């Protein structure tokens, strides 16, 4: 082997050895970094009770930065590889892991927090970041351009304003929009000209919202469809339950501060009606008892005169109104059964006539 050839071979072997050591160093460094991230995720999982998984599909880096900033005050917000989170969960032996792993697909944002699962989902739903509308997209809502200076110098852009039917004028060396103009309705496809103009005017009209996939709450997996609560319906159910509880407390006469006044009022009314029915004279019941007896006597006289007009019994032409039993206090809406003591209207019977006579003459 020639000397030059031998020297080339030696240099080649040396370079391979150095390169091998370099690659091994790079591999070892990446493994160490990965271990650090896994340990960090394990620490977060043990520090916080709730882990939320949020899809990042269609979210740009700029929008993600704004979203992370708005959510960071409620916990730790991180973009992590699904494999890293999976490994950390496995090493911690988290229950329901297999069920949770099916949500770890695609690019995800992970939120470590002590908020309960439903509060976290509600919070994420309220996070909205606006971006520029892209050509070919449908307008999410009506889009307007405001009145005033645009900062765009007059020139070719004047034709764009005209094409979009935006009234303009030149003032102070720039194009001014004469009055607020609607440039797109909800559902309209945004043209390239309009998209470009909105960007020049710095009008961001397309909302970017996050979508919660699932939440791991102390080992319990709650999918997105179970995290969306109908708050209005829940409020109505809660009010109905509170009203039913109040009605029940009044019916069983529970001596609670919230219902004691109503309980006493109902007891008084029932006692007064019972005294009237039994003919038991008290200062409170005497007027009602006498009025009822008088009314029954008038009814008796009218019935007798109908059968035997020759008796010539005097009947008051405008009989006094029959004293009605004292009404029970009205139950609040949504609860309670009709009072059992409520009397039905009946025709005057012979037994009532006899009772009226006995009331009058003993």
- Please report, for the chain, the start and end positions of each structural domain, with discontinuous segments joined by +: 3-127+211-226, 143-209, 254-361
Query: Closest Cα to residue 71, out of 108, 27, 129, 111?
Result: 111
Q: Which residue has better confidence, 117 or 22?
A: 117
**What is the side-by-side strand order in the sheet with 75-79?**
75-79, 108-113, 50-55, 211-217, 220-223
**pLDDT (average), residues 313-334:** 54
Phi, psi of 108 (to 5 degrees): -130, 150
* Helix, strand or coil, per DSSP, at residue 313: coil
Let me know if the fold of 3-127+211-226 is the same as that of 143-209.
no
* Arithmetic mean of pLDDT over the chain: 81
CATH 3.60.15.10 fits 143-209, yes or no: no
Tokens 């019972």 -> residue:
274
Q: How far apart are CA 258 and CA 46, in angstroms?
A: 44
What length is written for the chain? 362
Q: How far apart are CA 96 and CA 81, in angstroms?
A: 20
For the CA atoms of the chain, what is the radius of gyration?
A: 42
Q: How far apart are CA 82 and CA 105, in angstroms?
A: 7
Q: Is the pLDDT of residue 126 over 50?
A: yes
Q: How far apart are CA 21 and CA 15, in angstroms?
A: 10
Q: How far apart are CA 280 and CA 308, in angstroms?
A: 33
Query: Closest Cα to residue 194, out of 170, 167, 169, 163?
Result: 163
CA angle 123, 128, 130 (to 5 degrees): 170
- If phi over 0 gives left and psi between -120 and 50 gives alpha, with beta otherwise, what is residue 72? alpha
pLDDT band at 211 (very low <50, low <70, confident <90, very high): confident
Least confident of 25-34, 120-129, 238-247, 283-292: 25-34
Phi, psi of 13 (to 5 degrees): -65, -45
Query: Per the structure block, which two tokens stand in for 96?
Result: 């329901």
Q: Which residue has better confidence, 132 or 314?
A: 132
Q: Is the pLDDT of residue 345 over 50?
A: no
Query: Closest Cα to residue 103, out of 217, 221, 219, 209?
Result: 221
Start-to-end Cα distance in the chain: 150
Helix or strand run (H / E) with residue 347: none
Note the pLDDT tens digit of each residue in 64-109: 898 898 899 899 999 999 999 999 999 999 888 889 999 999 999 9
Least confident of 16-25, 115-124, 126-135, 216-225: 16-25
CATH of 3-127+211-226, one of 3.30.70.640, 3.30.70.1730, 3.40.50.2300, 3.40.50.920: 3.30.70.1730
The reported pTM is 0.56
Query: Closest Cα to residue 134, out of 55, 181, 61, 199?
Result: 199
Q: Give the model's pLDDT for residue 328.
A: 55
**pLDDT (average), residues 111-131:** 90
Q: Give the model's pLDDT for residue 7.
A: 64
Least confident of 2-16, 29-43, 145-159, 332-346: 332-346
């Amino acid at each position: 082997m020639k000397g030059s050839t031998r020297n080339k071979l030696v240099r080649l072997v040396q370079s391979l050895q150095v390169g091998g050591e370099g690659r091994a160093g790079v591999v070892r460094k990446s493994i160490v970094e990965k271990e650090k991230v896994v340990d960090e995720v394990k620490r977060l999982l043990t520090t916080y009770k709730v882990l939320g998984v949020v899809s990042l599909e269609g979210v740009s880096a700029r929008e993600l930065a704004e979203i992370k900033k708005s959510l960071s005050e409620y916990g730790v917000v991180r973009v992590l590889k699904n494999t890293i989170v999976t490994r950390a969960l496995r090493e911690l032996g988290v229950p329901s892991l297999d069920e949770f792993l099916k949500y770890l697909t695609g690019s995800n944002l992970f939120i470590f927090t002590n908020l309960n699962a439903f509060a976290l989902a509600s919070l994420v739903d309220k996070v909205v970041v606006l971006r520029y509308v892209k050509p070919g997209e449908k307008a999410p809502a009506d889009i307007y351009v405001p009145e005033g200076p645009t900062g765009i110098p007059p020139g070719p852009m004047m034709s764009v304003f005209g094409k979009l039917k935006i009234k303009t004028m030149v003032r102070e060396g720039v194009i001014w929009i004469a009055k607020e103009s609607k440039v797109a309705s909800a559902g309209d496809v945004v043209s390239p000209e309009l998209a470009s103009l909105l960007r020049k005017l710095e009008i961001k009209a397309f909302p970017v919202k996050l979508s919660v996939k699932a939440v791991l709450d102390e080992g319990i997996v709650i999918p997105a469809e179970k995290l969306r609560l109908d708050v209005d319906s829940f409020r109505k159910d809660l009010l109905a339950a509170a009203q039913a509880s109040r009605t029940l407390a009044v019916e069983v006469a529970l001596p609670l501060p919230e219902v004691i006044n109503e309980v006493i009022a109902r007891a008084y009314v029932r006692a007064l009606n019972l005294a009237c029915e039994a003919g038991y004279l008290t200062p409170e019941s005497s007027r009602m008892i006498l009025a009822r007896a008088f009314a029954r006597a008038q009814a008796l006289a009218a019935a007798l005169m109908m059968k035997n007009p020759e008796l010539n019994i005097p009947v008051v032409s405008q009989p006094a109104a029959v004293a009605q039993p004292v009404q029970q206090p009205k139950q609040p809406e949504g609860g309670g059964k009709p009072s059992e003591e409520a009397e039905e209207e009946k025709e005057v019977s012979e037994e009532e006539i006899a009772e009226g006579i006995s009331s009058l003459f003993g």
